[in-house]
Amino acid sequence: MMLNVRDDFPVLKRIINDKPIVYLDSACMSLKPRQVVEAMNEYYVQYPACGGRSIHRLGEEASHAYEASREKFARFLNAAEPEECIWTRNATESLNIVAASVRLPKDAKLVTTTLEHHSGSLPFVERAKRDNLEIEVVEAKPDGTFDMDDWKNAIDSRTKLVSVVHSSNVTGTVAPLKEIVEIAHDRGALVMADDAQYAPHHPLDVQDFDVDFSAISVHKMCGPSGMGVLYGKLDLLKDMDMFLVGGDTVADVRYENGQIIPEYLPPPEKFEAGLQNYAGAIGAGAAAEYLQSLGMHEIEKHERALLARAINELQSMDEITIFGGDNIDIKTGLVAFLVSTVETAHDVATFLNDSHNVMVRSGAHCVHPFHYQHGIPPSKGTNRASFYLYNNQHDVDTFIQAMRELIAASS
Ligand SMILES: Cc1ncc(COP(=O)(O)O)c(C=O)c1O
């Protein structure tokens, strides 16, 4: 049984140039259901005040909704405590907080991969530069999978932090996270999972995966833009250095003998400096609740059915090469591909958009190393069609029809 939620997404009613839209760019940014928009509107209309600081009625309502949302998100992730979920601006910020603030010994080694989004690699590359640490890069295979021996060799007793993308935004391949966590923990290393692509599409139980940190893009999971989450085990969050300091992070700031002496709050306030995006957090809670009400297993099944149909059709065209393997069972609902008869990926995306309102992504998807590793210059790039709970078979068929027309026109 396929999901039938299109009525929840008002934008799907839009008609452009007499045609409906076919949105296949959810791996970049998902559409928003009215349940999320209404929850955020309620904040702006009913209690648009500051949570946490003001004790008046509106402030109290904002604080309550803000913290209730955190609890909803903790349930979505099965975090042990709501305090383990920090509101951030996006997954990039979540990754940066961990990379910059985890305390590491002077001779620590970091491990990352060629398949990381730049947001999952660069914060760790910069941390290594800052503290003169070694960083080893595990290479992904062309289909986006890994050789487990490479992980076993890379993670040694000096390794203290591993950054790994749980599901790739280029190949859609799901990493064997439990095995990687087991190797890392055996050798005394922490694991930062980049769940930006995994959390919106699969059931994610952070305790079951036993990850130490997880970065989540709320805007890719039906939530508002400008919102993300950092999950971290509470003791580890408590142990980290501050990232941003200032208002709302302090229990007290004393003034003694001409000195300003801060006493910081524990997580989550420790990492939520300044006035927060209350509407965003409330929307994030509503998004988590919305997805959970549909069931993450159902969403995963729905997307994989669409992906199987798309991959099957793409493989029947000689001019198309799928980039990143075709094993549906270990994939999130997206497919990246190259078209031999068209010069750049941007040309493909422009044709699909202009001819059929089919919206796909083009470029190197912020994963240049994996493109270079496989001989594809980012200026040529690849295309990516990504599916989500509101897409249907008609969307896949329109996409395939547009691809056939493009190939006929360019051959
Ligand atoms: C795998 C992956 N990691 C990290 C990010 C960065 O996410 P955000 O835009 O929330 O910072 C993205 C965004 O596309 C992604 O796909």
- List pLDDT tens digits, range 307-363: 999 999 999 999 999 999 999 999 999 999 999 999 999 999 999 999 999 999 999
CB-ligand 1 contact for 216 (6 Å cutoff)? no
Closest ligand 1 atom to residue 194 Cα is 3
**What radius of gyration, in Å, describes the C-alpha atoms of the chain?**
22
Provide the angle, in degrees to the nearest 10, between the axes of the packed helices 278-294 and 57-77: 40
Burial 228-237 (b: 16+ CB within 10 A, else e): bbbbbbeebb
Q: Whose CA is nearest to atom 7 of ligand 1?
A: 91
- Pick the catalytic residue from 28, 50, 222, 366: 366
Closest ligand 1 atom to residue 116 Cα is 1
In which residue ranges of the chain is pLDDT below 70? none
The answer to whether the CB of 228 falls within 8 A of the CB of 86 is: no
Phi-psi region of 132 (alpha: psi -120 to 50; beta: other; left: phi over 0): left
What is the 257 CA–ligand 1 centroid distance (Å)? Answer: 46
What is the 174 CA–ligand 1 centroid distance (Å)? Answer: 15
CB-ligand 1 contact for 325 (6 Å cutoff)? no
What is the 363 CA–ligand 1 centroid distance (Å)? Answer: 15
CB-ligand 1 contact for 26 (6 Å cutoff)? no
Comparing CA positions, the residue from 252, 202, 244 lying closest to residue 86 is 244
Query: Token pair of 163, please?
Result: 């950054």
CB-ligand 1 contact for 336 (6 Å cutoff)? no
Quote the Cα angle for 215-220-63, to 5°.
70
Q: Whose CA is nearest to atom 13 of ligand 1?
A: 28
The answer to whether the CB of 32 falls within 8 A of the CB of 9 is: yes
Neighbours of 81 (CB within 10 A): 14
The answer to whether the CB of 298 falls within 8 A of the CB of 390 is: no
- What class does CATH assign to 35-293? alpha beta
Closest ligand 1 atom to residue 168 Cα is 1
CB-ligand 1 contact for 227 (6 Å cutoff)? no
Closest ligand 1 atom to residue 28 Cα is 14
Q: Where are the domains of the chain?
A: 6-24+295-410, 35-293
* pTM confidence score: 0.97
Pick the CATH number of 6-24+295-410 from 3.90.1150.10, 3.10.450.50, 3.30.470.20, 3.40.50.300: 3.90.1150.10
> Sign (positive/negative) of CA torsion 39, 45, 47, 48?
positive
Per-residue pLDDT at 8: 98
Per-residue pLDDT at 263: 97
Per-residue pLDDT at 349: 98
CB-ligand 1 contact for 165 (6 Å cutoff)? yes
**H-helix or E-strand containing 41?**
helix 34-46
Whether 50 is a known active-site residue: answer no
CB-ligand 1 contact for 91 (6 Å cutoff)? yes
